Structure 1
Amino acid sequence: MPYDEHSIRKMLPKTYLCKLVAHEIYFAVSHFNNLVPMMDKYVYNDGTTKDLMSLTGTIPVMIEDKTYNIPICLWIEESYPQTAPICYVTPTREMIVLSGKYISSNGEVLLPYLEEWKMGECDLVSVLQVMVAMFGDFPPVCMQPHPEHEQAPRWLHFHRQAEVLSKTDGSLYLHLTREDGLPFQEHDTNC
């Protein structure tokens, strides 16, 4: 759904600087079209909750010559633009957060740009651009290693073709070829 400034402004409570915030959000979703503005409950570290505007979705990040869509969420407090947005990497179930210099273990983004936020000089698009650049050098998530498949019965690990053949006296025997395709010789084993 395309967003315009008017529809975004209607989402914002009166406690926000609606015109400015709506303009910045519109500008951000115009540049990063996989982000969606929405009001949602933010839970602070002390457990209190508040309805805040957020930008949620993915941003394209180039890592080792491949583009990855990194899931993020920017929370915009009522004090914005005086205060920086609260930014998180929001991994899917298949991903894990790679905490480090710029990402906390809970996925919070800790960029110098956010810490040195200056009203009038910093904005949402710039935050997103800095995240794209930084995540390209310091990937914030990776795919979880796949759990080992349940141990299969031993016979499923045996991939060689066996044939049951009959001898001229009517008895049956098992014909099994070696990995090199030749038949086993008497006393030949792979154990």
Structure 2
Amino acid sequence: MATHVGCCGKTSIFVKVSAFLFLFAFVLLLLGFGTPLWSSRDGQSEGLWERCTGSVCVSTLDDPLGDEAWFVAVQALVTVGFISGLSGVILSFIIMFDVACTYKKAIRIAAIVDAFVPAALLLAGVFVYWIRGEIFFAVFYLGFSWGITLSAAIVFIIPGILLSVDLDRIHNYHDEAAEKPNDHPEAAAAEEHN
């Protein structure tokens, strides 16, 4: 029995849309994760991993900010969110392309978790960064990378909702199918005979 069918297999529109939203959210997160534009102040721009003045960048590990517990917590939250988001992308495409996995409830639940967990972690990370940055620095402006990471967190929520709806739809469909009487005439005749 072949487990792979052409593009998108036999999956619902919910799964197809959620897979591409997962990918879109992850690309946004990748941009926010790697670019040093989370905030700017005094002619410097800063990201999770680098602080840049003009074209000269130094690691945040060598920066006084690298020793701040709140900043390290933001790095950890966003990193775990990044890993969970990548896992969600992989699972959503497995569900979409692999017929053997399309109706596996455990894989679908794992994909749903990998949508809501990165969203929650990223939201926690961006808001901690915003609130603590306002307290920690005299002059503090949020930047592009911060905003794009916030956008990724919001986008991750949508495939979680779509996959939840689809899981419920499939569960209800299988329940209805199990309750329907057998439509085969031979089975009906055998039932009447007994």
Pairwise same-fold verdict (TM > 0.5): no
Task: Name the larger-Rg structure.
Answer: 1
Q: Which has the higher helix share?
A: 2
Query: Looking at both structures, which has the greater relative contact order when contacts are Cα pairs under 8 Å and sequence separation is at least 6?
Result: 2
Q: Which has the higher strand share?
A: 1
TM-score, normalised via structure 2 length: 0.27
TM-score, normalised via structure 1 length: 0.27
